[in-house]
Amino acid sequence: MFTETDVCVSWGATLDGPELYAATQLLDAGERRRAGALRDAGAHRRFVTAHAMLRVLVGRQIDVDPRLLTFTPLGAYGKPELVYSPHRLHVNLASAAERVVCAVTEHGPVGVDVESHSVIADANRFGELDRILLTSAERRQLTETGDRVSSLTRWWVRKEAVLKASGEGLTVEPTTLQMSAPHEAPRLLAWQGRPVPALWMSDLDVGAGYEAAVVVVT
């Protein structure tokens, strides 16, 4: 049975200054090009921190210099995968505001997501996120919850982690997923138009003001 020891998760604050510079040295030419094209300082820091963190995590796992790893977008929706034969490791990363999260496992496709309460509160000023994200049953549950923003954020990261594990990302509408309530253990209850896949999922505590989740297709 899959347990939390079967997936390696790392999270942290976005780096800055000399630490950010050191992290940049771990990236390959393609990643440095992408980082250099990011004009927003926050997006730049998130990108470099997340990609360096993933390299360190994978490097430790397979005992390889992090700078020698290659990640390539694969599949119809471009989910990046590790290219390092003979190892078959599944990887994923996410970042938001001042947090980055990475996950690595050999047991199946993995998805992670992190989001900040303030970003979700801002995006949901007019309540439009409720409709984009939640099923009608979930919207009813939301009216009963005390903290709308943290509930909505938790639903968001759980659903996006499922969709990132599947590799489809937001090409699939989050409203097709029916999840357990945010105060309950994370569970995918139904997926419109398809059977519910075998998933292992867990919330991640990445500090106050954030929600994060990791999902592995088992």
Ligand X SMILES: CC(C)(COP(=O)(O)OP(=O)(O)OC[C@H]1O[C@@H](n2cnc3c(N)ncnc32)[C@H](O)[C@@H]1OP(=O)(O)O)[C@@H](O)C(=O)NCCC(=O)NCCS
Report which residue type is found at 99: R
The residue from 23, 120, 164, 199 that contacts ligand X (CB under 6 A) is 164
In whole angstroms, give the CA distance from residue 173 to residue 9.
26
Within 8 A by CB and 6+ apart from 113, the residues are: 94, 101, 156, 157, 158, 160, 161, 164, 212, 213
In whole angstroms, give the CA distance from residue 6 to residue 105.
6
If binding is defined by CB under 6 A, does position 11 make contact with ligand X? no
Please list every residue from 105 through 124 that binds ligand X, using CB under 6 A: 111, 113
Strands of 55-187, DSSP E: 70-74, 79-83, 90-96, 99-105, 110-116, 177-179
Q: How far is the CB of 217 from ligand X (least distance, A)?
A: 12
Q: How far is the CB of 129 from ligand X (least distance, A)?
A: 13
The residue from 68, 170, 189, 196 that contacts ligand X (CB under 6 A) is 170
In whole angstroms, give the CA distance from residue 76 to residue 117.
31
Nearest residue (CB) to ligand X, 169 versus 183: 169
If binding is defined by CB under 6 A, does position 80 make contact with ligand X? yes
User: DSSP 3-state assignment of 86?
Assistant: coil
If binding is defined by CB under 6 A, does position 47 make contact with ligand X? yes
Q: Exposure of 203 by Cβ count < 10 A (0-12 exposed, 13-18 middle, 19+ buried)?
A: middle
Q: With CB under 6 A as the contact rule, which of the stretches 10-18, 145-153, 165-173, 178-186 interacts with ligand X?
A: 165-173
The token duo for 93 is 């990363």
Please list every residue from 181 through 200 that binds ligand X, using CB under 6 A: none
Q: How far is the CB of 31 from ligand X (least distance, A)?
A: 8
Q: How far is the CB of 101 from ligand X (least distance, A)?
A: 8
If binding is defined by CB under 6 A, does position 78 make contact with ligand X? yes
If binding is defined by CB under 6 A, does position 155 make contact with ligand X? no
206, 104, 93, 41 alpha-carbon torsion, rounded to 10°: 80
The residue from 2, 77, 84, 191 that contacts ligand X (CB under 6 A) is 77
Positions that interact with ligand X (CB under 6 A): 47, 77-80, 92-95, 111, 113, 160, 164, 167, 169-171
